[in-house]
Amino acid sequence: MTRKRHTTGEIFRWPLLLGVLILVGLASALFGDDGWDALSWAALAIPLAVLGWKASRRPHLPRS
């Protein structure tokens, strides 16, 4: 069975997006108040929700 080759962009798209969300959340928590606090909560909650969702799924085992 042949495996599909992924490009560098396909491999790193989601980790980079989650990293940017974390940076936005941390920066907004440090530099702002009120609406910025809400932004920081949302930006930091999304990566945690994604990690929880991925951890709760059954692992995909390749067929041999």
Sequence-separated (6 or more) residues with CB below 8 Å from residue 1: 63
For residues 43-62, average pLDDT: 87
Number of C-beta neighbours around residue 26 at 10 A: 13
- Contact (Cβ atoms closer than 8 angstroms) between residue 47 and residue 22: yes
pLDDT at 41: 94
- Contact (Cβ atoms closer than 8 angstroms) between residue 14 and residue 39: no
Number of C-beta neighbours around residue 41 at 10 A: 13
Each residue's pLDDT tens digit, 1-46: 678 888 999 999 999 999 999 999 999 999 988 899 999 999 999 9
Percent of the chain's residues with pLDDT above 90: 64
